[in-house]
Amino acid sequence: MVFVFLLSGCGQDQTQNHQTNPDQQPSQLVEEKNDEKPTPEPILEPEEELPTAALPTTELPETNRTPEKTEPATESLSWYLRPNLNHTIPEGPVNALDLLNQYQAFYVKPDAGNKIYLTFDEGYELGYTPQILDILKANDVKATFFITGHYLKSQPELVKRMVNEGHMVANHTWNHPNLAKVTPEKLQEEILKLEEEFKNLTGTEMPRYIRPPEGAYSETSLKLTSELGYKTVFWSLAFHDWDPNNQPGRDYSYQYVMDHIHPGAVILLHAVSQSNTEALNDIIVDLQKEGYEFALFN
């Protein structure tokens, strides 16, 4: 059995594309990681002390937003999948599925019928997001953008455009840390600081969906995130697209999505990918021709 580990992440500067044949299959266990070694994303320190609790608005359910004083797990787990080619839901880590159900986390919407969910991780901007938004608007498709604090501070106009055009802008943490390795207090700060600054910028509440940086998690991080009223969103379709210096190419991006799509799919794309941007319009049009409907999380 072939395992393909698909981990969320971001790269840095873009040079030239590396073309890859999507029909090639790995002959051994392959783990695709995002080490993010070349140039770390800027760290934005809070400008003022973060409140220990943030009150939800009347539009959101009441939640105790102060995590219990539980020590974070020392082991950091990584989300991965066993992709398939028959358009059925791929298998996630067996030991993780019970945790997902227990702590309001998910990687697929199995009861959604032919609805699928297009999501983009936004750690920094490489110039493709305006084009992505243009394509989404032209096709009347809504997507979810998981943003970091750096992205919000460096691209406020793009964030406001996402909101104004009806997309969901959700939480990817303030500093993009491994949530399995921070204290409960730091985890709370990472989530609520972004939530607070998003409201200051847009005048709207941030929907309580979060994608953990790099797909890293532990039972403790899932538990604490859930106590803040958030649902953790992993993914059921992804590939190595986050490194601008090692792009798979437009044809690979298109074919991989078309070959692995399935009902209820949560598609993870990175907006720093030239390959994804070039393939996006055809992906949307052809998936709609196959009867799929793009949707937002409830």
Q: Is the pLDDT reported for residue 236 higher than 50?
A: yes
Q: Length of the chain in residues, anyone?
A: 298
Whether 270 is catalytic is yes
DSSP 264: T
What is residue 16's predicted lDDT score, i.e. its pLDDT?
38
Instruction: Single out the catalytic residue among 87, 270, 282, 286.
Output: 270
How far is residue 24's CA from residue 112's CA, in Å, rounded to a whole number?
31
pLDDT for 167 beyond 60: yes
Give yes or no for residue 25 having a pLDDT over 50.
no
pLDDT for residue 92 is more than 50: yes
- Sequence ranges of the domains in the chain: 98-298
Given a contact cutoff of 8 angstroms between Cβ atoms, the answer to whether 228 and 195 are in contact is no
Q: Could you tell me what percent of the chain has a pLDDT over 90?
A: 71
Tokens representing 235 are 């993914």
Long-range Cβ pairs for the range 192-200 (8 Å, 24+):
192/50, 192/51, 192/54, 192/65, 192/228, 193/46, 193/50, 193/149, 194/147, 194/148, 194/149, 194/152, 195/54, 195/171, 196/50, 196/51, 196/54, 197/149, 197/152, 197/153, 198/147, 198/152, 198/159, 198/169
Q: Going by CATH, does the domain composed of 98-298 fall within 3.40.50.720?
A: no
- State the pLDDT at residue 82: 87
CB-based contact 220:70 (threshold 8 Å): yes
Across the range 209-236, mean pLDDT stands at 98
* Catalytic site includes residue 121: yes
pTM of the model: 0.78
Instruction: Return d(Cα 159, Cα 146) in angstroms, integer.
Output: 10
How many whole angstroms separate alpha carbon 232 and alpha carbon 102? Answer: 11
Of 13, 23, 121, 260, which one is the catalytic site residue?
121
| Token output for 43 | 């760290």
